[in-house]
Structure formats: C-alpha cells, structure tokens
C-alpha cells in the first residue's frame, strides 16, 4: 500500500472518529438539558466541531475536492435536523434571561413564603435549622416514579430535620394538567407521599414564583443556564438557608442520601 493511499485512509478514519465523538457528546448534553438555550449551544457546538474536522480533511494533501464535502456544508448543519438553517442564515442569538430572575431576591431561603396545595400560606421561616429539598414535580412525566425515592428519603430523615417540598408545575410538556386536589390524591394513592405538596407553580418566565427566582439566582444549572429545564430538578438548601447544590432530573433521589445525611450532621 502506497504512503499516499495510507495517509488518505488515515485522514478519513480520523475524520469519522472525531465527528462520531462530537455527535455522541452533544446528544448526551441534549438529554441532560432540554432548554432552547442548551439546544442552541449544542447546535453551535456541532457546527464548530463539524467545521473543524471538515476543514482538517479538506486541507489534507491526500484529499481532493471530490473526496470531501465543502466546509460550508458542515457548518450549516444542526444537531436537530428539523432546525437546520439555510446556508446564509446567521447564528441564533442567545436566549434571553428569565424576566423573573431579574427580580430582587431575599438573602435566605427562610425569608420566602408560598401556598400549599390546599391554598394555605406557608412561611418558610418554620423550616429554619432544617435541611430542605425542593423539587418541581409532575404526575405524568417519565421521572414521576422519583416520587417513590423522595418519599423514602423523607421517611428516613424527617425526624432528623429533612423537609421535602414538591412544587407541581405544568410547564414542561403539560405533564401536570390537574388541579391541586387531583395532584394530592395522585401523590397519596400512587406513591404514599407524606411530604408537603405546594400549590401549582410557574418555575420559569415572568410569572415564576419568588421561590424559584431565589433558587435559580443562587444556583445555576448546566453551562450556567438558570432556567429550570424539566420536571424533577432538585435544589438542596442547608440549615442556614443557603442553596448548596442543584441537581438535574436525571439525578435519582437515592443519590442524594449521602449529601443530605452530611448536611443534617452539621
């Protein structure tokens, strides 16, 4: 096999490996973060990776114009085929910050208030000195079975000072369409939930609840994005009212056991 042919084959193998790796990483990022901002970032990342690999292949002395597609072809490709822009389209603008996130927030979680599912006011000052796990929940989501793990955590640690607050939200795929009474019945009958369930809540946008304005302001998510991406995201608040960690929907409740135990022990 001639040196030129071998070089040509090597460049093609390298190109395919890099492109496949980039696609796998970007698709994984989409699974974790489904927000429009994340999709735009993934799209730009895919474009950059594809353009770079295509440029490398195109500039190789072993390749010819007939051997590879032009760089422009790759740089206009999106990770989401349905949203591929035309060749002349400009890069999308970054997503605007949540309007609610610009509102003043208190210094401590324990200064907040909210309504429970029976529309009774709850002053979070009653949780002072406790560890609180806040979760935006939904009854018809693929992550809904996490209710079981949340209830197990609550039963295990409630006497040591753990509070879990479930905030129903219909903002993701309309997966919490019912009223509070229906939600309470579902939680109790299906998963035996005994921790507090709050009133239905907006967690993003200009109508988001102050609780979520506070939580997102204190702890951003993946890639610095503040908005809630999907149901069953979790915020862990310590005994001093500080948001210490934020977890994606993919983090199972049982994975928080050690972190909760450590905070309760302090």
Which residues carry out catalysis?
A: 141
219: which residues sit within 8 A by CB, 6+ positions away? 235, 243, 244, 245, 246
Cα 219 versus chain centre, distance: 12
- Rounded CA separation 60/248 (Å): 42
Q: Helices in 60-109 by DSSP H: which ranges?
A: 71-75
- Rounded CA separation 78/47 (Å): 7
Would you put residue 238 in left (φ > 0), alpha (ψ -120 to 50) or beta? beta
State how far the alpha carbon of 57 is from the alpha carbons of 60, 61, 147, in Å: 5, 9, 50
Q: How many CA within 13 A on the CB side of residue 112? A: 22
Q: Are the CB atoms for 75 and 44 separated by under 8 Å?
A: no
206: which residues sit within 8 A by CB, 6+ positions away? 98, 99, 100
């Amino acid at each position: 096999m001639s040196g030129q042919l071998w070089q040509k084959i090597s460049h093609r193998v390298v190109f395919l490996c890099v492109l496949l790796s980039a696609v796998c990483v970007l698709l994984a990022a989409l699974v974790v973060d489904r927000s429009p901002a994340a999709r735009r970032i993934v799209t730009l990342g895919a474009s950059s990776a594809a353009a770079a690999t295509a440029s490398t292949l195109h500039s190789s002395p072993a390749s010819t114009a007939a051997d590879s597609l032009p760089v422009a072809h790759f740089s206009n490709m999106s990770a989401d085929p349905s949203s591929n822009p035309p060749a002349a389209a400009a890069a999308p603008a970054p997503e605007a910050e949540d309007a609610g996130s610009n509102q003043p927030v208190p210094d401590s979680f324990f200064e907040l208030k909210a309504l429970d599912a029976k529309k009774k006011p709850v002053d979070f000052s009653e949780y002072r000195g406790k560890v609180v796990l806040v979760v935006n929940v939904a009854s018809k989501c693929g992550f809904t079975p996490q209710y079981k793990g949340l209830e197990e955590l609550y039963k295990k640690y409630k006497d040591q000072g753990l509070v879990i607050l479930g905030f129903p939200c219909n903002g993701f795929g309309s997966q919490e369409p019912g009223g509070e009474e229906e939600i309470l019945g579902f939680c109790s009958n299906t998963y035996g939930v005994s921790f507090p369930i709050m009133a239905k809540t907006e967690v993003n946008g200009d109508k988001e609840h102050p609780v979520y304005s506070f939580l997102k302001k204190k702890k951003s998510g993946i890639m610095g994005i503040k908005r809630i991406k999907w149901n069953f995201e979790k915020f862990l608040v310590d005994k001093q009212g500080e948001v210490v960690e934020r977890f994606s929907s993919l983090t199972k409740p049982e994975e928080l056991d050690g972190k909760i135990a450590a905070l309760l022990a302090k």
